[in-house]
Amino acid sequence: MRILHTMIRVGDLERSITFYTDVLGMSVIRSKDYPDGKFTLVFIGYGAESEEAVIELTHNWDTDSYEQGNAFGHIALEVDDAYEACDRIRALGGNVVREAGPMKHGETIIAFIEDPDGYKIELIQK
């Protein structure tokens, strides 16, 4: 078994695709519209789905926003340098919500950013 993808619902599909591709450097792997269901699925990631877990962006055509709830935590990405990644993401218009630094009660360097829909993304330094 292996993890295939994590699905998140997004209110503005193009805004989300731009964030994940331009700010985080992912690629669109595949996309499909489902007119009868009035939704679009876009799979994005850093590599082929056959080799890597990806993120599924689900856009319901008649929904502009979602409530986050309190069950979902975050998506985690490994970065070479969390400090540099925060600077680059901020320069590209991304929202850094926790600056890079040691995690509480530990030594691992982490940071948190938010995507356009408010989903938290943890950056973990190698």
Annotated domain spans of the chain? 5-60, 75-125
Q: Give 7's DSSP letter.
A: E
Q: 42, 114, 39, 126: which is closest to 78 by C-alpha?
A: 126
113: pLDDT strictly greater than 90: yes
Longest dimension (CA), the chain: 50
The fold adopted by the segment(s) 75-125 is 2,3-Dihydroxybiphenyl 1,2-Dioxygenase; domain 1 (3.10.180)
d(CA 28, CA 56) in angstroms, rounded, equals: 10
Tens digits of residue pLDDT in 5-62: 999 999 999 999 999 999 999 999 999 999 999 999 999 999 999 999 999 999 999 9
Domain 5-60: which CATH number of 3.40.50.300, 3.40.309.10, 3.10.180.10, 3.40.50.620: 3.10.180.10
Q: Decide if 122 is catalytic.
A: yes
Decide if 5-60 and 75-125 have a common fold: yes
Exposure string of 23-62, with b = 16+ CB inside 10 Å and e = fewer, is bbebeebeeeeeeeeebbbbbbbbeeeeeeebbbbbbbee
